[in-house]
Amino acid sequence: MIKKEHIALFTFLLFSFGNHLLAQENPDAIALVDDQLENNFYEAMKQRGIENYDKAIVAIQKCIEKDPKNAAFQYELGKNYLSQKNYVEAENAFKKAVELDNKQRWYWNGLYDVYYQTRDFQKSIPIVEKLIEFDANLKEDLVSLYMNTNQHAKALELLTEMEASSKLTSRMEFYKLKIQEANGFAKPQKEQLEEAIKKHPKVEQNYIDLIVLYTSFNQEDKAFEVAKQLEKEIPNSDWAHVSLVKFHLNNNDGENASKSMFKVIENDQVDLKIKHRVFNEFLIFAVKNPTYLKNIDKAIPYFDDDREINVAKEVAKFFWKKNDLEKTAYYFEKGLKKNPDDVEAMELYLEVLIQKQDFQLLTQKAEDFLESFPTQVGFYFYAGLGYNQLKEYKKAKTILENGLDFVVEFSPSESGIYTNRFNANFYKQLIICYENLNDTAKVQLYTNKLKQLQN
């Protein structure tokens, strides 16, 4: 939240350096005329910060009354209406901001937010065309808008322009292929591409188009021949090895498939989604041919920078479905080394240890996890279960009772993060340890709680 003294500082700076400074600054930094205006603006920011949009609107409207030609005030008004999902008023406010100052990116962005949320693709197009002047990366948004409005000719023209300066992302490649498959945009003919390759053997795109053409007709043998030719002419081609991985796997050629896979995942220019696809295809092959599982281990570190997917964790889930508990545990351990704060991975790993009946390791790991996450009730449960299985009932009692402070109880009709089903299992472990410690009162207490949940 912006503090009052910060706004006063913005005021001083903006009046000192004039409109030039304002041109590309964040619109929250607004030149304020007097104390009353400053107070109203501060109130608007404060109320917006605590999501009291009605009060924020009243305050910013007072600012507009005082200074109706201030585009940034209109922008603030639009943001509050947008938060209320009052799209008509939000659109009007952002339009006024743009009319007052059409050189400010944030105001155009406000309009785009309105049209994006209301899925008004036609109105979005001229806004994004304008926004591209500020950020060329929005060309992908414009392609998507052209596709959603069936303007395939414009989409293809823009894709061609983008491809001339950089490699298309997998999503843009998908759009390009979709356009080529549509009526009026037939794929380049096989003969034309073959002739183009003869004349220009070092132009990669012709090979790619011919591979895509053959693959679309399920002529993988012919596509393989083109990929091999591409590999020979342009050994460092990303696309050659993306294609060759699958072909080598189909031919049960694990050595060459491994080489192609590593060329793909080592190359920073290849889209991450393509790398995942290649890795997954090789993983399925390696499970059937365990000699190559060592290459899975070598490949995983190449995905360490992936913020969205923990590859080792996903591999662990894959082996869990195959009921291979040893490899499941092994890859969960690898996943936790990459992301030691992944509570879900921890709990899944502990579940695997239960299935393996490795209760000694179960208690050790659960208590290790508790050192970092002392409020995570699941870890108390797993540790208590492990100690009960090891017949160390006093330790089970201690750790389960410590975990009781974090058990959230719900009525039978309710649900939450910790469901009644989980609570029932937690109480069962308490009952087991109390029975073995001859604490009949506590046995009765948690038996009654368990019956309430079961009823």
Listed by start position, the domains of the chain span: 4-134, 236-309, 310-356, 361-455
> What is the widest separation between alpha-carbon atoms in the chain?
90
CB–CB of 237/220 below 8 Å?
Answer: no
Distant-in-sequence contacts of 184-192, Cβ < 8 A, 24+ apart: 184/152, 185/152, 185/156, 187/212, 187/213, 187/216, 188/213
CB–CB of 195/203 below 8 Å?
Answer: no
Looking at this protein, which amino acid is placed at residue 288?
A: K
d(CA 345, CA 405): 23
Superfamily of domain 4-134: Tetratricopeptide repeat domain (1.25.40.10)
Is the four-CA dihedral 130, 131, 132, 134 of positive or negative sign? Answer: positive
d(CA 261, CA 245): 6
Short-list 80, 36, 38, CA closest to 58: 80
Tokens of 248: 């080598």
Residue-wise DSSP of 28-96: TS----SHHHHHHHHHHHHHHHTT-HHHHHHHHHHHHHH-TT-HHHHHHHHHHHHHTT-HHHHHHHHHH
d(CA 111, CA 109): 5
pTM over 0.75: no
Short-list 337, 385, 347, CA closest to 369: 347
Q: Do domains 4-134 and 361-455 have the same CATH topology?
A: yes
Tens-binned pLDDT, residue by residue, of the chain (455 aa):
333 333 332 332 233 223 333 334 455 544 444 567 777 777 777 777 777 888 888 888 888 888 888 888 888 888 888 888 888 888 888 888 888 888 888 888 888 888 888 888 888 888 888 888 888 888 888 888 888 887 877 888 888 778 777 777 878 878 777 776 664 444 456 788 888 888 888 888 888 778 767 766 667 677 778 888 888 888 778 777 877 888 888 889 999 999 989 988 888 766 677 788 889 999 999 999 999 999 999 999 988 888 788 999 999 999 998 889 999 999 999 999 989 989 989 999 999 999 999 999 999 999 999 999 998 889 999 999 999 999 999 999 999 999 988 876 544 444 443 456 678 889 999 999 999 999 999 999 999 988 887 76
- 353 φψ region: left (φ > 0), alpha (ψ -120 to 50), beta (else): alpha
Fold of the 361-455 domain: 1.25.40
Provide CB contacts within 8 A for 361, sequence distance 6+: 353
3-state secondary structure of 103: coil
Which parts of 182-304 fold into alpha helices (H)? Answer: 190-199, 204-216, 220-233, 238-250, 254-266, 272-288, 293-299
